[in-house]
């Protein structure tokens, strides 16, 4: 592979803007222009950009920390690296909550509907929180009752966000014991399922006088718990807004010194896929099978993200080719065949979705198509749903847990392709023609 393809891209000063974020729909349109309303029109675009620009470097720090943990470290380096990872995660959580609170105040924290797999969402929530807070003294159990429909229509990213917040909160206040995450079916009427999610821990518990205001903004920040465990008190308030915006409700039970139980109920439409439930549950067994070495095209304009993701993939035994923007990805695909393409959503020249559309247009209508997975550091549900509803095969939110990355590779490759990779057509030689 020539230097033009694999050399890290020099830092660019221009700001990357998602074209899809340039339109803002006011909740209550008015025929007359209000100066205050006009002043907040750029907020949606600003929040989208600032979300990416703030989260991207933090995601890079977390990813590099994980790669360093896999190297030879002495007894003095390990605790320092653990502190870097722990503090980075705290800062990332704070950034996420502050951005969401800003969206709430601007009336821009919206929910959207798209097909999703509940099992996949809950597995991702578990993998994300366990990956972020490993502790051998805590047993984490995930259970989904057999009668729960898994193929649903709703806002998967908001459901995931609430679960991650509740699990992370339980983990923060539980030093030993267990954390149990469950999903049960409360009722089902025609194509709508009422679901209850419960996150139960054996942590320190919550005093009765604090439990009454636990979902209020900054409630935790004013309590004695913050002085011992940290936090802004925004996470639970955001969860409450999200759940209520989805037409559900959330509550908590707790006994001081024994633990807490956080519950929320929402309704989701059921996809018209009669056999989806059993096949989805089989995915967990399928995802455990090993992959033979794959040829993967990684398109990302951020050098740190390139290093982290290629490090994860190469440790799994795969070979990685790097493109620094969407156009390079399109050109590389035209010259060779890959088993998988991973593309960042926001890139110069061509973004991930635009590049994916160009790749699909260049492929024959019949025959196997290379799976394309979009990666993004943005937490906007609109982007996730837009990716999941169209040209691409999947969407992963950074930071990406290596186990989730592996499961994604397995899920989007037929078993035959997982056992044997396609051959590249003289890619090393022909890529030298790319600019």
Q: What is the CATH number of the domain that holds 318?
A: 3.40.50.2300
Q: Are residues 348 and 223 part of one domain?
A: no
Could you tell me which residues are beta bridge partners of residue 262? 199, 252
We report the CATH number of the domain holding residue 145 as 3.30.565.10
Residue 278: inside a domain: no
Q: Are residues 241 and 122 part of one domain?
A: yes
Residue 39: inside a domain: no
Distance CA 415, CA 395 (A): 21
Say how many domains are in the chain. Answer: 3
Give the pLDDT score at 421.
37
For residue 221 the two structure tokens come to: 């920040």
Q: Are residues 124 and 197 part of one domain?
A: yes
Q: Containing domain of residue 96, as a range?
A: 46-108
Distance CA 384, CA 66 (A): 25
Distance CA 421, CA 291 (A): 10
Give the pLDDT score at 143.
93
Cα 300 to its chain centre, rounded Å, is 17
* pLDDT means over runs of 10, the chain (435 residues): 43 40 39 45 58 78 86 88 81 77 70 85 80 68 93 90 90 87 94 96 88 74 49 78 93 92 96 56 49 91 92 92 94 90 91 90 71 82 62 83 84 58 36 37
Burial 286-323 (b: 16+ CB within 10 A, else e): ebeeebeebbbbbbbbbbbbbbbbbbbbeebebbbbbb
Residue 332: inside a domain: yes
**Domain boundary residue among 239, 272, 305?**
272
Q: Are residues 178 and 250 part of one domain?
A: yes
3-class SS at 238? helix
Q: Are residues 261 and 121 part of one domain?
A: yes
Helices (H) and strands (E) in the chain, counts: 17, 12
CA–CA–CA angle 374, 287, 377 (5° rounding):
25
- CA separation (Å) from 91 to 38, 54, 223, 231? 31, 10, 20, 10
pTM: predicted TM-score of the whole model, two decimal places: 0.59
Distance CA 4, CA 256 (A): 60
Cβ of 21: how many Cβ atoms within 10 Å? 20
3-class SS at 195? strand
Q: Are residues 320 and 188 part of one domain?
A: no
Give the pLDDT score at 321.
95
Residue 18: inside a domain: no
**Eight-class DSSP state of 433:** G
Instruction: Extract long-range pairs of 236-241: CB within 8 Å, 24+ residues apart.
Output: 236/165, 236/169, 237/101, 238/97, 238/100, 238/101, 238/104, 238/109, 238/161, 238/165, 239/161, 239/162, 239/165, 239/166, 239/215, 239/264, 240/215, 241/104, 241/109
Q: Are residues 339 and 290 part of one domain?
A: yes
**Eight-class DSSP state of 422:** P
Distance CA 407, CA 402 (A): 9
Give the pLDDT score at 384.
62
For residue 350 the two structure tokens come to: 């061509």
Give the pLDDT score at 159.
93
**Domain boundary residue among 250, 272, 294?**
272
Q: Are residues 388 and 312 part of one domain?
A: yes
């Amino acid at each position: 592979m020539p230097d033009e393809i694999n050399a890290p891209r020099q830092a660019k000063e221009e700001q990357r803007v998602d074209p899809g974020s340039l339109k803002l729909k006011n909740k209550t349109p008015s025929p007359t222009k209000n100066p205050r309303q006009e002043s907040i029109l750029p907020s949606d675009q600003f929040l989208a950009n600032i979300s990416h620009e703030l989260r991207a470097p933090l995601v890079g720090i977390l990813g590099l920390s994980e790669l360093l943990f896999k190297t030879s470290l002495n007894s003095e380096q390990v605790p320092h690296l653990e502190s870097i990872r722990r503090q980075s995660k705290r800062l990332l959580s704070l950034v996420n909550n502050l951005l969401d609170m800003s969206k709430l105040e601007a009336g821009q924290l919206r929910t959207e509907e798209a097909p999703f797999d509940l099992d996949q969402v809950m597995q991702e929530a578990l993998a994300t929180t366990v990956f972020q807070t490993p502790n051998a003294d805590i047993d984490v159990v995930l259970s989904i009752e057999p009668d729960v429909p898994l193929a649903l229509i709703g806002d998967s990213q908001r459901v995931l966000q609430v679960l991650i917040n509740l699990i992370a909160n339980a983990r923060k206040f539980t030093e030993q014991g267990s954390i149990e995450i469950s999903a049960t079916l409360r009722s089902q009427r025609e194509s709508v399922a009422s679901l209850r999610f419960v996150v139960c821990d054996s942590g320190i518990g919550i005093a009765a006088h604090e439990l009454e205001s636990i979902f209020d903004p900054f409630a935790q920040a004013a309590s004695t718990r913050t002085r011992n465990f940290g936090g802004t008190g925004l996470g639970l308030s955001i969860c409450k807004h999200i759940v209520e915006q989805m037409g559900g409700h959330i509550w908590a039970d707790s006994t001081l010194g024994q633990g807490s139980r956080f519950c929320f109920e929402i309704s989701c439409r059921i996809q018209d896929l009669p056999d989806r439930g059993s096949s989805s549950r089989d995915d967990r067994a399928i995802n455990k099978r090993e992959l033979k070495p794959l040829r993967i095209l990684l398109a990302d304009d951020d050098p740190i993200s390139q290093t982290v993701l290629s490090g994860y993939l190469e440790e799994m035994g795969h070979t990685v080719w790097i493109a620094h923007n969407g156009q390079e990805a399109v050109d590389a695909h035209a010259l060779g065949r890959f088993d998988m393409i991973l593309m960042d959503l926001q890139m110069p020249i061509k973004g991930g979705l635009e590049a994916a559309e160009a790749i699909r247009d260049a492929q024959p209508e019949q025959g196997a198509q290379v799976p394309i997975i979009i990666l993004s550091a943005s937490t906007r549900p609109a982007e996730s749903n837009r990716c999941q509803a169209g040209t691409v095969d999947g969407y992963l939110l950074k930071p990406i847990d290596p186990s989730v990355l592996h499961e994604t590779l397995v899920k989007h490759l037929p078993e035959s392709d997982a056992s044997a990779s396609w051959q590249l057509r003289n890619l090393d030689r022909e890529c030298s023609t790319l600019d």
